[in-house]
């Protein structure tokens, strides 16, 4: 579990006002002084993340944030960074002291409610001053069973937090869905087409390919991994139930396998696991409505060195220009930052999101819908431009989803 990618870990955000004890809590939970603790308000300026194994939950990421009430010269920027953590929080912990909740905690609560983020409340510094019954009842209007504690002196705080986390943990983390478990059965033959080109990391294959391979092994499938689909089919005794390819070679793979064999891509598999397949499917149709000088935003979850034939900066733009015949402007955004000016774009194309969690992708989809901006992803875009989207999504019954 130590090598579990951050994107597959439960993201637990710790929020509250300055000097409430957020940093003390994360230090106690991980048994390390990862965050600076000081009586001076505003010590934490940037989000601090720590990945660890938090049994029995397993792999998690704790995120310490700056105080939501920071009014210092740089306070507004610190608060904005804290708010960005909302997008990838699976469970939120609000920490306060004996003064209880006021508008800051209530605003946090309302934001988490809007995003369907489970919430835990911790009332700190009970060794200094006990919370009044009135203030406690006010908190209990929002959150059941708040934890009353003195974090720095409470040896049982880890167990109290674990108990609450287990009760509030999203079901799709406790029982994560299989990538292809509803598509394949035991002993099915599945072919993975994995080209080894300039974008392939030296000595290994990329994360989505690894995860699909492991999922198929968990489902007891028989797997054939190849770079050449044409020769692979001739060598197989049994016809494959499914072929999964890198989206960049969709066209050649599609031409070389019979129509009766199901075909999809790694990116499309992750479109439904990390995002919303129906939303991405519908979003791709906006490609036909693009006009000269329209801006298309391409979002990459990770940062990497660009190569000569980069998929985001070369291949996808070329496919879209060929499909539309229009002069499109492409704008790029990498990492966790997400632009506020969504109204400036005609379409957003997201990567496969193997390096971020589903919560962040769903948050981005929500923001796009609010801005009336169509959103799709790499694999869906490529399949649409090559006019094979119906075939590429057929294994997932996309037409049934539409209804």
How far apart are alpha carbons 40 and 286 in whole angstroms?
51
| Spatial separation of the C-alpha atoms in residues 267 and 354, rounded to whole Å | 9
Q: How many CB atoms lie under 10 A from the CB of residue 177?
A: 11
141: Cβ–Cβ under 8 A, 6 or more apart, which residues? none
State the pLDDT at residue 303.
Answer: 57
What is the per-residue pLDDT for 5? 67
pLDDT at 197: 67
Q: Which of 45-59, 240-254, 262-276, 320-334 has the lowest mean pLDDT?
A: 45-59
Residue 1 pLDDT level (bands cut at 50, 70, 90): very low
How far is residue 371's CA from residue 394's CA, in Å, rounded to a whole number? Answer: 29
Q: What percent of the chain has pLDDT over 90?
A: 57
The tokens describing 157, both together, are 């705080």
Nearest to 201 by CA among 274, 353, 304: 304
Residue 260: other Cβ atoms inside 10 A: 6
pLDDT at 36: 46
Q: Mean pLDDT, to the nearest integer, of 97-117?
A: 95
Mean pLDDT of 380-394: 96
List beta partners, residue 96.
123
Within 8 A by CB and 6+ apart from 168, the residues are: 91, 118, 119, 120
In tens, the pLDDT along 191-203 reads: 999 988 666 667 7
Short-list 285, 298, 294, 297, CA closest to 328 = 294
User: Quick one: average pLDDT of 383-388?
Assistant: 96
Q: Is the pLDDT of residue 231 over 50?
A: yes
pLDDT of residue 141: 95
| Residue 333 bridge partners (DSSP) | 299
Predicted local distance difference test score (pLDDT) of residue 402: 44
Q: How far apart are CA 33 and CA 31, in angstroms?
A: 7
pLDDT for res 185? 96
pLDDT of 30 reads: 83
Cα angle value 113/44/84 (rounded, 5°): 35
Contact 12, 89 (CB under 8 A): yes
> What domains are defined for the chain?
6-174 (3.40.50.300), 189-268 (3.40.50.11420), 276-402 (3.40.50.11410)
Q: Judge contact between 243 and 229, C-beta under 8 A.
A: yes
Tens of pLDDT, residue by residue over 37-65, are: 445 454 555 788 888 888 777 788 999 99
Measured distance CA(229)–CA(226) in Å, rounded:
7
The pLDDT score that the predictor gives to residue 400 is: 55
> Which residue shows structure tokens 């940093």?
23
Buried b (16+ CB within 10 A) or exposed e, 340-356: eebeebbbbbbbbbbbb
């Amino acid at each position: 579990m130590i090598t579990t990618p951050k994107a597959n870990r439960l993201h637990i955000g710790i929020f509250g006002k300055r000097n409430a004890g957020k940093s003390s809590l994360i230090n106690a939970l991980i048994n390390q002084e990862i965050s600076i603790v000081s009586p001076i308000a505003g010590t934490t300026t940037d989000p601090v993340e720590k990945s660890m194994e938090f049994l029995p939950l397993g792999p998690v990421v704790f995120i310490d944030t700056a105080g939501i009430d920071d009014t210092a010269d740089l306070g507004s920027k610190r608060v904005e960074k804290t708010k960005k953590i909302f997008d990838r929080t699976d469970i939120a912990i609000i920490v306060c002291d004996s003064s209880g909740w006021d508008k800051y905690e209530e605003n946090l609560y309302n934001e988490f409610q809007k995003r369907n983020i489970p919430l835990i409340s911790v009332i700190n510094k009970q060794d200094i001053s006990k919370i009044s019954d009135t203030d406690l009842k006010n908190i209990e209007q929002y959150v059941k069973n708040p934890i009353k504690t003195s974090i720095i002196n409470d040896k049982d705080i880890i167990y109290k937090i674990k108990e609450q986390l287990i009760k509030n943990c999203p079901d799709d983390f406790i029982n994560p869905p299989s990538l292809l478990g509803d598509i394949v059965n035991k002993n099915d033959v599945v072919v993975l087409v994995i080209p080894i080109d300039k974008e392939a990391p030296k000595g290994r294959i990329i994360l989505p390919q690894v995860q699909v391979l492991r999922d198929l092994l968990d489902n007891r499938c028989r797997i054939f991994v190849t770079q050449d689909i044409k020769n692979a089919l001739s060598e197989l005794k049994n016809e494959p139930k499914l072929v999964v390819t890198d989206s960049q070679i969709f066209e050649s793979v599609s031409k070389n396998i019979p129509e009766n064999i199901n075909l999809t891509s790694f990116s499309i598999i992750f479109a439904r696991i990390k995002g919303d397949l129906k939303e991405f499917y519908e979003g791709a149709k906006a490609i036909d409505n693009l006009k000269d000088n329209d801006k298309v935003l391409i979002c990459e979850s990770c940062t990497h060195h660009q190569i000569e034939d980069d998929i985001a900066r070369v291949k996808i733009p070329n496919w879209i220009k060929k499909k539309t015949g229009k002069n499109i402007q492409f704008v790029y955004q990498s990492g966790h930052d997400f632009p506020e000016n969504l109204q400036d774009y005609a379409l957003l194309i997201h990567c496969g999101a193997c390096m971020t969690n589903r919560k962040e992708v769903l948050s981005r989809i929500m923001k796009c819908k609010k801005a009336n901006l169509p959103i799709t992803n790499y694999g869906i875009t490529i399949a649409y431009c090559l006019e094979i989207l119906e075939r590429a999504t057929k294994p997932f019954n996309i037409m049934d989803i539409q209804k």
